[in-house]
Amino acid sequence: MTGRDLSGEVAQLEREAADALVAARSTGELEEVQSAVLGRRSPLARAHRVLAGLDPDERRAAGKALHEARTRLETLAAERAKALAAAERAAMLERDRLDLTEVTESEVRSALRRGRLHLVDQTRRELEDVFVAMGFTVAEGPEAETDWYNFEALNIPPAHPARSMWDTFYLELGQPETVLLRTHTSPVQIHLMEERPPPIHAVIPGRCYRRETPDARHLPVFHQIEGLVVDRGITFADLAGTIETFTTAYFGADIHSRLRPGYFPFTEPSAEVEVTCTICRGKGCRTCSWTGWVELAGCGMVDPAVFEAVGIDSEEWSGFAFGLGIDRCAQMRHVIADMRAMVENDVRFLRQF
Ligand code: PHE
């Protein structure tokens, strides 16, 4: 065979090899074709062995042609290998894909679940509604108070034994023990009576603080809604009627409530409002400390000493006040055995309301 014959044959072999490489449909197939057209037993390799029998000039020309053909085929094989590998990977990803469009309606709903007001806020709003329907307006007051508003103006002088009724958080402001976190919403009674002349018919919801160890009925941060009525001719019957109207409106007729005598320095006479414990239905349990009753509110007729502190003439005006535990109302209405659930932020609890 001459060098010219060989060059023509190489061109022919290259075309056939290129066609075979392009025709391979998988990386596995390509590897087989590659070894058939470029390997040791390929026609190209055989042609290479023929070179040895040619004279030097012809050998150089044919050798160059062979080398170039092999280089082009190797480049083509590498390109094909890359393209086939990419296609195979894409196909594999497609096979393993999770179809996220096949989500059930309830899964969509739970992914979109909206937040809601905390049970305490819902309860505060419901209580406001009950009292607004009875003709009260809604007012507010500060959570940080001076000793005068929280205690003295409410007829609780310094060192009075009744102060032990309220374990107080003091703030490091001014003279020691003069500024505090209010222990009840009653100081807002004083603010209202200072701000406007009677008649007053107001409820005041808000946060209160006491240094108490949390238990089934108590939290150190809790909520009250204060009520204050100052008008002409207000009697204890008005107070009792208001409490009765409230308990029926909020709890319904089948929850029993009662007023029992109590003591508060700023009301005289004073009473405590209790409801039958809804956890044990009155039989006695841990939540009600085995009494069958849970205290919801303190109340009473405004003490003349309080009117005097704010300059209201107690000959002309009389009034009643109450302080209702908002968290307690929620606890009894929704039968929550342990108050601490309210602040644990467990969504399984919160979602129920
Ligand atoms: N402030 C009292 C308390 O929290 C409750 C109360 C309010 C009592 C108004 C009488 C009148 O203990």
Ligand 1 pocket: which residues have CB below 6 Å? 184, 186, 264, 267, 270, 298-300, 321-323
Pick the CATH number of 119-350 from 3.40.50.12280, 1.10.15.40, 3.30.70.370, 3.30.930.10: 3.30.930.10
Q: What's the rounded Cα separation, in Å, for the pair 84 and 62?
A: 33
Of 185, 239, 264, which is best to mutate to test ligand 1, by the most ligand atoms within 8 angstroms of its C-beta? 264
pLDDT of residue 2: 63
Q: Whose CA is nearest to atom 12 of ligand 1?
A: 298
pLDDT tens digit sequence for 69-82: 899 999 999 999 99
Give the position, in ligand 1's atom list, of the atom nearest the Cα of 224. 4
C-alpha distances (whole Å) from 200 to each of 80, 102, 234, 319, 338 are 91, 61, 11, 9, 36
Ligand 1 centroid to residue 309 C-alpha, Å? 17
Q: Token match 């190489």: residue?
A: 10
Residue range(s) in the chain whose domain bears CATH number 3.30.930.10: 119-350
SS3 state at 320: strand
Q: Whose CA is nearest to atom 10 of ligand 1?
A: 299
The pTM of the full predicted model, rounded to 2 decimals, is 0.69
Ligand 1 centroid to residue 299 C-alpha, Å? 6
Ligand 1 centroid to residue 58 C-alpha, Å? 117
Residue 105 confidence class, pLDDT cut points 50, 70, 90: confident
Q: Which of 13-17, 112-116, 139-143 has the highest mean pLDDT?
A: 139-143
Ligand 1 centroid to residue 225 C-alpha, Å? 10
pLDDT of residue 1: 55
Q: Whose CA is nearest to atom 4 of ligand 1?
A: 184
Q: In what order do the strands lie in the sheet containing 318-325?
A: 137-138, 200-209, 221-231, 318-325, 293-302, 267-276, 257-264
Q: What's the rounded Cα separation, in Å, for the pair 50 and 62?
A: 10
Average the pLDDT over 265-276 and give the result: 96
The tokens for 305 are 């000493």
Q: What's the rounded Cα separation, in Å, for the pair 170 and 188?
A: 18
The mean pLDDT value of the chain amounts to 92
Element (H, E) at 1: none
